[in-house]
Structure 1
């Protein structure tokens, strides 16, 4: 199979090319009839280096192009919200369940599914039209979050960069895979939720409770929304670098910011779910004044 000529190709142009394997088929039936034909495989691409936007384009092709009946067909311009929600769910599951090491075997557990609230929240971020369809360009180009990038010359100086939907979504899936897998699988992470929705949810819980969610606005950050025992609601955030240095499980158990929290949303006991807090040992004062029994026993010792 001739793949490409030896010419200088840009990385983007290489990623846009699609190739298929062509099989020559020759069958001989019991009736003596000879069948000769050709079969074309599903198309594949050659990726040059890790590039998130290339992976995003391939995701759209695999999810929405009619590759079975038309192997080299283009993706449609619009898809329904239900189709996009199901595709995002499968992609998130695939990233989260990816083995972190080459020696790790494939996961045999049932991946956690998105609930209807999560699916609706994700598709609404891509601004569907009134007919319930959304443009696939919004997946690639619509900015939904921001990332602060520091300048090399000054550590305290930098600029805010707009992040498109696909980059924001893929990053959260990678963070979940690396740092939050157990908590995500156990249902201790609520996931995709806005700040306003989180506050409304917490107000409905009578006890002190926290909700772990993904930031809608800040790129690659995990938010902890907390309702304290006095009813006050506050929000804390963690970057993936923080989670690399210390697990979120340990942070929730040991940080005094969460010492008065009883539950993880919706009604899961925090200490039971995470293993219990390390309570400080209370040192009792020593009683240096001997009592009367001490003096009564001194005669027996002599």
Structure 2
């Protein structure tokens, strides 16, 4: 669907004027946890420079902008900006945006047209307490083994060694809308001790086109802990990374660790004081990964 199909003057039924910036924290039910995201429900009058300026002022790892849409069809054109640059896809901002729309339009299915393609999102609101959750369905996710030069440069910037890695979970470059290097730590203490070369890692990531480095530790086959350095976005670390979670689902399937439909929990943000819970549903056949989480307004 092209942007011309949308009613650009009535993205969500909001009045015209300076766009409001909503703030939500995704993958949590506590505003003090999760990953904060900015949400602009009517960005139809904004150009790239204006969206980048707003994202920089908000200061979160990403802000989602609805640039066009049809509220009656529940279909919207969405772009994502970090404080430094546009990002092709962002999971936590997608969840935040979906919850914001569900609160305005009611629960149900949404469709987001993003730079990486169509992203269906199902939303639900708990009638007991009014909390909202969203499940995004990624583009087909996959992964490949990391090249030695990719791994060596990353380990140097992280101040890690090969001995710090879990040999059972090999380094891969995984894709679920954008690319992330997946590195599995051999211990929880190694994951907790993160003190990396910000500029050095950013250089490596820009060279290879990675959005984050997805560092994980396997507590059990169905529960992983994660941390995601994001220096290319001007952010030291993401408290919850839905796009990386989708890519990680593709990684698990590529390695043959998913042979039947499975639900995996990812605990992220604990080591930076913003605990987040992400759920991914992965099947052996379907190339797409479903990422579920809640979101709550901040302030």
TM-score by length of 1: 0.24
Query: Where is the strand percentage greater, Structure 1 or Structure 2?
Result: 2
Relative contact order higher in (CA < 8 Å, ≥ 6 apart): 2
Greater Rg, structure 1 or structure 2? 1
TM-score by length of 2: 0.24
